[in-house]
Chain A
Amino acid sequence: MSLIKIQTNIAISDSGFLFNPATGESFSVNPIGLEIIRLMREGKNETEICAAVNETYDADPAIVERDLHDFIHMLRQHQLLDNNGGQNN
């Protein structure tokens, strides 16, 4: 399962505010998004992230997996993942 890497230079605050110093762009993520980004930073892969979210929230695992894919796609679109982020580990 894929290991997703957030670019190391992205500043992430406790409030969920993300700042990309290379582009000047900033973003807000909700608490679940922030939790997922933290798990990515800890080196967790997609399976582990899904498991962690399922453990915390009472949600359909299939929906969690789909939403995580969407979220990762969005992070990639906004160039927040490093060049190798998302490749199979």
Chain B
Amino acid sequence: MADRIINIGVTGLNAIDSPGPGVPVIRGLKEAKSFKARIIGLAYEPLEPGIYIDGLVDKTYLIPYPSAGTDMLMARLEHIQSVEKLDVIIPNFDAELYSFIKLERALKNIGISMFLPTLEQFEERHKFNLDEFGKKHNLDVPESKPVVSQTELLKVAKEMGFPVMVKGKYYDAYAANTPDQARNYFDKISAKWGLPVILQKFVKGTELNMTGLGDGNGNTIAAVGMRKQFITDKGKAWAGITIHDYRLMEITKHFIASTKWRGGFELEIMKSADNTYYLMEINPRIPAWVYLAVGVGQNIPEALVNLALGNDVQPYQGYDAGKLFIRYAYDMIVSRERFEELSVNGELGNNADNQ
């Protein structure tokens, strides 16, 4: 391992049943061959499990929710930077990306690099822009429409026909079989994620996923395909297996080349019975199952850090199909004092600092 120490701030430490990608991203960074990572956890809540996992983060700071605005976030990050001298931040939540993209230049000015999609890339791939996105980049997408009221919801759902997918603008997706179900999901999602809610034509088929990394010039640095093997009631993969699907790889490379995608991403693709590959969703960040990619030799977090630092990064070539990830839940015993320290002071050293 190289001796160079890189200080990296990582969000998404909520390793829960709908997990944030922070913990697997950090595991990838800890296994990096080109540098030694010192990890600063950036958490929104003092109960995010990744904070307390032994040997994972060197220190954790609470940061304000995106709803507090970019000024508050910047002020907090300036304080953290004055202490920690971060080289890179990897934001891992869809909902925080807008703020971090907005702050990219300001953070660069205080010495923090990131490797994020451009604002244009971030905006155009939104679920409510999927139709336009598909046309622009010549990708098959299911018909989808943003709706802002129940009246509009029922009108569009009737046009599309049931079942129909009801999706939140950041997270959550439900298949509604009846107008009543659609209305319920609309209320549930809009209360949690706001408007618009997206209605999407239901596509029956096999869901395939791809995680990857684009260098911002149209080149594919990493790309690993996965099929979910075990799914939670929230539709999250609890186990998955790497696959080699030629068309899936072709679509991914086309997506990166056409958008000149900059940063990590996850593509959710539905392969229909007639072998059409519908692009269902583009998540503009590393997914929670990224450790599978690390496990088959494509260390996306490491490559992303090197791209952020302006280092030369060679594309990964190939990976083994048939490698599984199987997730598990694990109870940690945490002293009240540690929880209290983070809750009251907004920062917490690792276990070793407290012993």
Q: Which residues of A contact B (CB under 8 A)?
A: 9, 11, 19, 21-25
Q: Are A24 and B246 within 8 A (Cβ)?
A: no
Q: Give the docked Cα–Cα distance between A25 and B241 (Å).
A: 9
Point out the residues of chain B lying under 8 angstroms from A11, CB to CB: 322
Point out the residues of chain A lying under 8 angstroms from B243, CB to CB: 21-24
* 14 sample A-B contacts, Cβ–Cβ < 8 Å, listed by A number: A9-B244, A19-B321, A21-B243, A22-B243, A22-B245, A22-B246, A23-B227, A23-B245, A24-B226, A24-B229, A24-B240, A24-B241, A24-B243, A25-B227
Q: Give the docked Cα–Cα distance between A65 and B100 (Å).
A: 65
Looking at A9, A11, A19, A23, the one whose CB has the most chain B CB atoms below 10 A away is A23
Q: Give the docked Cα–Cα distance between A9 and B245 (Å).
A: 11
Q: Are B244 and A22 within 8 A (Cβ)?
A: yes
Q: Give the docked Cα–Cα distance between A51 and B227 (Å).
A: 39
Q: Give the docked Cα–Cα distance between A25 and B242 (Å).
A: 10
Point out the residues of chain A lying under 8 angstroms from B246, CB to CB: 22
Q: Give the docked Cα–Cα distance between A68 and B243 (Å).
A: 29
Q: Is the interface of B mostly helix, strand, loop or mixed?
A: strand
Q: Give the docked Cα–Cα distance between A40 and B229 (Å).
A: 29
Shortest Cβ gap from B226 to chain A (Å): 8
A-B contact count (CB 8 A): 26
Q: Give the docked Cα–Cα distance between A24 and B320 (Å).
A: 12
Q: Give the docked Cα–Cα distance between A11 and B323 (Å).
A: 13
Residue of B nearest to A22 (CB): B245
Q: Are A19 and B322 within 8 A (Cβ)?
A: yes
Q: Give the docked Cα–Cα distance between A19 and B123 (Å).
A: 39
B185-209 Cβ-contact flags toward A at 8 Å (1 or 0): 0000000000000000000001000
Q: Give the docked Cα–Cα distance between A20 and B243 (Å).
A: 8
Point out the residues of chain A lying under 8 angstroms from B241, CB to CB: 24
Point out the residues of chain B lying under 8 angstroms from A21, CB to CB: 243-244, 321-322
Shortest Cβ gap from B164 to chain A (Å): 26
Q: Give the docked Cα–Cα distance between A9 and B244 (Å).
A: 10
Shortest Cβ gap from B106 to chain A (Å): 43
Q: Give the docked Cα–Cα distance between A9 and B321 (Å).
A: 10
Residue of A nearest to B243 (CB): A24
B219-237 Cβ-contact flags toward A at 8 Å (1 or 0): 0000000110100000000
Point out the residues of chain B lying under 8 angstroms from A23, CB to CB: 206, 227, 243, 245
Q: Give the docked Cα–Cα distance between A11 and B321 (Å).
A: 10
Q: Give the docked Cα–Cα distance between A11 and B241 (Å).
A: 14
Point out the residues of chain A lying under 8 angstroms from B245, CB to CB: 22-23
Q: Give the docked Cα–Cα distance between A25 and B244 (Å).
A: 11
Point out the residues of chain A lying under 8 angstroms from B206, CB to CB: 23
Shortest Cβ gap from B273 to chain A (Å): 11
Point out the residues of chain A lying under 8 angstroms from B322, CB to CB: 11, 19, 21
